[in-house]
Structure formats: C-alpha cells, structure tokens
Amino acid sequence: MDRRTFMKISAGSIFGGLLLSCAENKAGENEAMGNPERQLAKIGFQLYSIRFLLEKDFQGILSTVAKAGYKELEFHDYFGNTPADVRKMIDDLGVTSPSVHVSIDRLRNNLSEEIENAATMGQKFMVCPWLSEDQRTADGYKALIASLNEAGEACQKAGIQLAYHNHDFEFFPLEDGALPMDLILAQTDADKVKIELDLYWIRKAGHDALAYFEKHPGRFPLCHVKDMDAEGNMVDVGAGVIDFAEIFAKSEQAGLKHYIAEYDNPEDPVATVKNCYNYLEKLRF
C-alpha cells in the first residue's frame, strides 16, 4: 500500500467514525427526548368535552379538533350519525378513534351491537365510563365486576379490549372500608379488563397515580389527561398543578399507549381544544 492510498483510507475511516459517533449521539438524544412522531400520534381528545358543539355541527367540530393537531378521537356518542358515516368522516380527516365510551347498561344489554359498532369504527378499546350513584354500594360494585368480566371476555373474543374509567367515587371507602377501585382491579381479570385512568379524578380523591402504576403494572393502556388548579377545580391541561411529565415518565410501567385530553365543562370549548394540544405536544412521552 503506497502512502497516498494509506492516507485516503485513514481519512475515510476517521470521517466514517465521526459520522457513526454523530448518529449514535443523535439516537441518544432522540431516545432521551422521546419520539415526536410517535408521541403526536398518541395524543387524543375525549369529545364529551365539546358535546354541546357537536350537537350543533358534528362534522364541522370534528374537523376543528383534527386541525388542532389531534390524531385520535374518543367518542361517547355519534349524535344521530351511523358509525359507518362517522368512520368515513374521521378517515377523511386523517384521524382514528382507538376507543369509545359505552354505558354499563349497554354493556349488559346491547353488547353485540356495540362490538359491531366498534369494529366499524376501527376501535380497539371499549370503556365503561360511569356507575350511577344508586349502584355505588358493595352489591352494586360486585355486580359491576361480574358484568365487566363477562363483557371483557366477549370483547376479547372480538379483538377489543374492555376498560373501566374512574371518577373520584371509586376511591370512597365502602361500609367495610374497601375502596371500589381496589376491588375492581383485584377482582376483574387483568387481561380482559383494563383501566382508563382519569388523572384528575384520582388526584381529586387524594390518591396517587404512580402508586397504582407500581402496584398494577401494565393495567392502564389509556388515561384521561385532565388538569387541576390549586383549589381543586378542573382547568385546561397545562394550566394547573398536576405534573404530567412525572406521570408520563412511568408510561412503560403503566402500560400507557393513549393519552386523551379532556375537560368536562370548559368555558371556551374551542380554546380548550387548542390549549390542551399545544401543551401536550411539547411533552415527551
């Protein structure tokens, strides 16, 4: 090998090494910061937050939410539209619907229809969102757990994951001191029944989401991202005191895959849609 050839090979090796080092550093930065494209694809919006607007202009408001940046929509009602028509609307907007809220009565009495609707919409999660006050007794929760296990098995056979969404009352002790949320987690099949954890309501009840992630790893594939001010009032995501970055840092432990913004009764719904997204898209999770 002559000197000129040796110098070319040496220079190439050094340059190649620099490129590899830069690529490794960049990969490390991306890993530390999270994957923005993956992150943005997971930010969803619970349309219950803007239900009064949807009653007036369903398709137009869906477009408003999509234009704000959201890639996922969680439905609770189709406002007189068929699931097939709604599926076409969201396909045209370039968004998906991974989940839907279905009442416990519908899960008990109309599950086959709801499974068919979810299949039409391409939804992979069906969420029981609420238990009426008259059912919040020891017997009522026992019946709920039985219904969730039964519906969860049917949903699983159809390729759908059942989940339960909490409020604060699942953390109010029953007569024997047991917490309904603990009963639900302990007595439902962990594979057939997951939890959509509402981060506002668990905090409102004085409990810690991270403690539940640690005790029940992998049980929380979805969460409702709601914020709280210092007085305990609901506010736009990012305008309150909940440390979402700390919570989302435990996403792998929790099993979190979908982050769904919500604000039950916003004063300015359209502003809330935008504010919540603008805050969440800056987080890395």
- Average model confidence (pLDDT) across the chain: 90
Predicted confidence (pLDDT) per residue in 228-246, tens digit? 999 999 999 999 999 999 9
Model pTM above 0.75: yes
Would the pLDDT of 154 be above 50? yes
Res 37: pLDDT: 54
Res 30: pLDDT: 39
Cβ-count burial of 207 within 10 angstroms (0-12 exposed, 13-18 middle, 19+ buried)? middle
9 compared with 39, residue with greater pLDDT:
39
CB half-sphere exposure, 150, CA atoms < 13 A: 14
Cα 77 from chain centroid (whole Å) = 17
Q: How far apart are CA 168 and CA 201, in angstroms?
A: 5
What residue has token string 């390729």? 159
Using alpha carbons, select from 246, 243, 275, 248 the residue that is nearest to residue 261. 275
* Range list of H helices, the chain: 3-33, 36-42, 51-56, 58-68, 83-93, 104-109, 111-121, 138-157, 180-187, 199-204, 209-215, 244-248, 251-254, 269-280
